[in-house]
Amino acid sequence: MLAHLLSFVVNVCLLRRGPEDAPHQSAAMIIAVLANFLLLLWAYGQQSGLPAILPALQSTVIVLLATRWVLQASGKLARYTPTVFTLFASSALINLLYKASQLLVPNDAASASGSPFLLLLLLIWVWSFVIDAHIYRRALDSPFALGMLLTVLLFATNTLLLDWWYWPTVESAPA
């Protein structure tokens, strides 16, 4: 069963499958949400001075609420569970790939700036947008551009709220 789900998530990440093929059980959705939440805790916990649970919780709740709102507004609320499962399971897989790829980038800034592995990190990050746009497109039966618009709006909203609530602002140096 686990191998089947992993195969499904890999195929979603390769844009071969969509949320319509995902499990409709709430248990699968909850496991995917929790797995991604734990990875967010790990990622946010490595940033200094933050209680990791708050930004991880915010990021999770924003996606859950926005997905529900978008599907309800389009009359496709019945697709909520498989869409959420697909979003969070693919995000967890991409986050693991991203974290593993970070190990390839040198720790010191001078070496890291010339590392070709920075391009790999950028490609993984951009591909995560493509995957989410693909999932929303398939869930809404809409053009890819609408899926990408939703993905970018979710990212921007989450980033702005994280910056506003949790991350200290960087003040410019006196002139």
Residue 173 lies inside a defined structural domain of this protein = no
Range of the domain at 93: 2-165
Residue 48 lies inside a defined structural domain of this protein = yes
Residue 8 lies inside a defined structural domain of this protein = yes
User: What is the value of pTM for the model shown?
Assistant: 0.87
Alpha-helical segments (H) within 46-143: 53-73, 80-102, 109-113, 117-140
* Per-residue tens of pLDDT for the chain, all 175 residues: 789 999 999 999 999 999 999 999 999 999 999 999 999 888 877 665 556 788 889 899 999 999 999 999 999 999 999 999 999 999 999 999 988 888 887 776 556 666 777 788 899 999 999 999 999 999 999 999 999 999 999 999 998 988 887 655 444 444 4
Residue 83 lies inside a defined structural domain of this protein = yes
Q: How many domains does the chain have?
A: 1
Residue 9 lies inside a defined structural domain of this protein = yes
Residue 130 lies inside a defined structural domain of this protein = yes
Burial class (CB within 10 angstroms; exposed 0-12, middle 13-18, buried 19+) of 56? buried
Residue 113 lies inside a defined structural domain of this protein = yes
Residue 132 lies inside a defined structural domain of this protein = yes
Q: b vs e for 78-117, b when ≥16 Cβ sit within 10 Å of the residue's Cβ? A: ebbbbbbbbbbbbbbbbbebbeebbeeeeeeeeeeeeeee
DSSP 45: H
The DSSP secondary structure of 156-174, one letter per residue, reads HHHHHHHHHHTSPP-PPPP
At 50 the three-state DSSP class reads coil
In this structure, how many other beta carbons lie within 10 angstroms of the beta carbon of residue 18? 19
At 24 the three-state DSSP class reads coil
